[in-house]
């Protein structure tokens, strides 16, 4: 089930955030807010697709790709899963 896969990927991202001590407090807060946005969107599966969630995750991938590749990798998986479930 894609929703379960997405939750697992969010859990992996959370683990990456805990492991990566080089992220600033602001970056951590931004990532946590993004994760909450994704979780809220998952709860509204019956609503129409909101491309801004996927766009936000894609922007986060670009932001973290160079300095935090583990976080960016977890985000890329989330983007793919969001696409698979139509978000």
The number of domains in the chain is: 1
This prediction's pTM = 0.59
Distances (CA, A) of 79 to 11, 35, 51, 85: 14, 12, 11, 10
Predicted confidence (pLDDT) per residue in 46-69, tens digit: 455 556 788 889 999 999 999 999
Expressed as residue numbers, the domain containing 20 is 2-85
Above 90 in pLDDT, residue 3?
no
The answer to whether 9 touches 74, Cβ cutoff 8 Å, is yes
pLDDT at 40: 86
């Amino acid at each position: 089930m894609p929703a379960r896969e997405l939750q697992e990927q969010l859990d992996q991202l959370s683990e990456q955030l805990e492991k990566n001590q080089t992220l600033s407090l602001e970056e951590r807060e931004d990532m946590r807010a993004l994760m909450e946005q994704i979780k809220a969107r998952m709860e509204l599966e019956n609503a129409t697709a909101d491309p801004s969630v996927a766009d936000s995750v894609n922007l986060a991938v670009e932001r973290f790709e160079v300095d935090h590749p583990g976080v960016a990798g977890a985000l890329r998986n989330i983007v793919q899963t969001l696409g698979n479930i139509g978000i």
